[in-house]
Amino acid sequence: MKILITGAAGFIGSHLSHSLSARGIEVIGVDNLNTYYSTRLKLDRLADLGVPETDLDSPGGAISTRYPTLRMYRGNLADRAFVESLFAAHPFTHVCHLAAQAGVRYSLEAPLSYIDSNITAFAHILEGCRHWEVDHLVFASSSSVYGLNGHIPYSTSDNVDHPVSLYAATKKSNELMAHTYAHLYRVPCTGLRFFTVYGPWGRPDMAYYHFSRAILEGTPIQVFKEGNMRRDFTYIDDIVEGIMRILESPAQPNPNWDTSRPDPATSPAPYRLYNLGNDQPVALLDFIGILENELGRKANTIMMPMQPGDVAQTWADVSDLKRDIGFQPSTPLSEGIRAFVKWYKTYHRP
SS (H, E, C) the chain: CEEEEECCCCHHHHHHHHHHHHCCCEEEEEECCCCCCCHHHHHHHHHHCCCCHHHCCCCCCEECCCCCCEEEEECCCCCHHHHHHHHHHCCCCEEEECCCCCCCCHHHHCHHHHHHHHHHHHHHHHHHHHHCCCCEEEEEEEHHHHCCCCCCCECCCCCCCCCCCHHHHHHHHHHHHHHHHHHHHCCCEEEEEECCEECCCCCCCCHHHHHHHHHHHCCCEEEHHHHCCEECCEEHHHHHHHHHHHHCCCCCCCCCCCCCCCCCCCCCCCEEEEEECCCCCEEHHHHHHHHHHHHCCCCCEEECCCCCCCCCECCECCHHHHHHHCCCCCCCHHHHHHHHHHHHHHHHCC
Tell me, rounded to whole angstroms, the distance of Cα 251 from its chain centroid: 19
Query: At a CB cut-off of 8 Å and minimum separation 6, what does 270 contact?
Result: 182, 186, 187, 188, 189, 250, 251, 252, 253
d(CA 184, CA 291): 48
d(CA 224, CA 241): 31
d(CA 67, CA 78): 28
2-195+236-277+316-329 in CATH: which number? 3.40.50.720
- Please report how many Cα atoms fall inside a 13 Å half-sphere around the Cα of residue 43, on the Cβ side: 10
Say what angle helices 121-131 and 80-89 make with each other, to 10 degrees: 30
d(CA 282, CA 212): 17
CA-wise closest residue to 318 among 146, 130, 192, 222: 192
- The model's pLDDT over 248-267, given as tens digits with 9 standing for 90+, comes to 999 999 999 999 999 999 99
CA-wise closest residue to 318 among 257, 239, 262: 239
Active site residue 167: yes
Task: Provide the residue-wise pLDDT of the chain in tens; the chain has 350 residues.
Answer: 999 999 999 999 999 999 999 999 999 999 999 999 999 999 999 999 999 999 999 999 999 999 999 999 999 999 999 999 999 999 999 999 999 999 888 888 899 999 999 999 999 999 999 999 999 999 999 999 999 988 999 999 999 999 999 999 999 999 999 999 999 999 999 999 999 999 999 999 999 999 999 999 999 998 888 778 899 999 999 999 999 999 999 999 999 999 999 999 999 999 999 999 999 999 999 999 999 999 999 999 999 888 887 788 899 999 999 999 999 999 999 999 999 999 999 999 98
Sheet holding 62-63, edge to edge: 62-63, 70-74, 26-31, 2-6, 94-97, 136-142, 189-194, 271-276
Rounded to 5 degrees, φ, ψ at 26 are -75, 125
Q: How many residues does the chain have?
A: 350
- The model's pLDDT over 104-125, given as tens digits with 9 standing for 90+, comes to 888 888 999 999 999 999 999 9
Among residues 167, 198, 271, 274, the one annotated as catalytic is: 167
The domain ranges of the chain are 2-195+236-277+316-329
